Amino acid sequence: MAKSVFHFIPNTLTCLNLFMGCVATVFAFAGNYEWALLCIIGSAVFDFFDGMAARLLQAHSPIGKDLDSLADDVSFGVAPSAILYSLLEEMCLFDLPWLPYAAFLISVFSALRLAKFNNDTRQTTSFIGLPVPANALFWASLVVGFHDSLCTWHPLLLVALMLCFCYLLVSELPMFSLKFKSLSWRDNRVSFLFLLVCLPLLLLGVRALAAIVLWYILLSVVVALGRRKS
């Protein structure tokens, strides 16, 4: 009986991830980007711990896997789409009234990324393509931290940036994970370098998440190019 009760914990955490993603979406449509960002961060925390709980409790299941993907597409696909949609609407696009709807391509490509991840055996210890939580945190942090500056951009530039990130979601770009098997520099030098540079970036405050995601992408590209040359 105790074992069956504990097996509900990972799925409960996944449902909390989904709940926070729904709330983030509501805040985003209301133009409350700060609270939307906080809810997406909450979703990311629950997403991290549901996987950890499943491993510790040996509670993996097909239902849990599917539920996790559904929750992630809401929290890290629909929620950032709603943030960008609201920002584009805020720009009063009288000549391009249809353009804000393009923001929901984030949801579409996030779903494709999650489906690819679930069926790609190459992604057990690292990633291929940008993880959806990183993409969501980038957009939420970018809009909160650079809101006034972004409103001066031409909206097509924002859409072009969004399309670049949509491509990264489903690209074949190898991206490292922060899973440490040991604490040796030789085995984890890329992860240690990433974390060392992240420390001063934290001084940027709410803008730090966007900067950290950009640093993650840049370092992944450099590492991938280095491996191809070798």
DSSP letters of 29-84?
Answer: HTT-HHHHHHHHHHHHHHHHHHHHHHHHHT---HHHHHHHHHHHHIIIIIHHHHHH
Residue 31 has what pLDDT?
94
Q: CA–CA separation, 133 vs 45, rounded Å?
A: 10
Mean pLDDT for the stretch of residues 73-100: 92
Distances (CA, A) of 50 to 27, 54, 67, 83, 112: 24, 6, 11, 25, 21
| Two tokens, residue 95 | 């000549």
Give the pLDDT confidence score for residue 178 in this predicted structure.
78
CB atoms within 10 A of CB 48: 13
pLDDT at residue 54, as a whole number: 75
Token digits for 26? 């509501």
Instruction: Judge contact between 213 and 220, C-beta under 8 A.
Output: no
**What is the pTM assigned to this prediction?**
0.91
pLDDT at 205: 93
Residue 63: per-residue pLDDT: 82
- Domains along the chain? 2-175 (1.20.120.1760)
pLDDT at 150 over 80: yes
Q: What is the DSSP letter of 179?
A: -
Mean pLDDT along residues 95-100:
89
Per the prediction, the chain carries an average pLDDT of 89
Write down the pLDDT at residue 182: 62
Task: List the structure tokens of 117.
Answer: 């991840």
Contact 103, 140 (CB under 8 A): no
Res. 211 pLDDT band, cuts 50 70 90 = very high
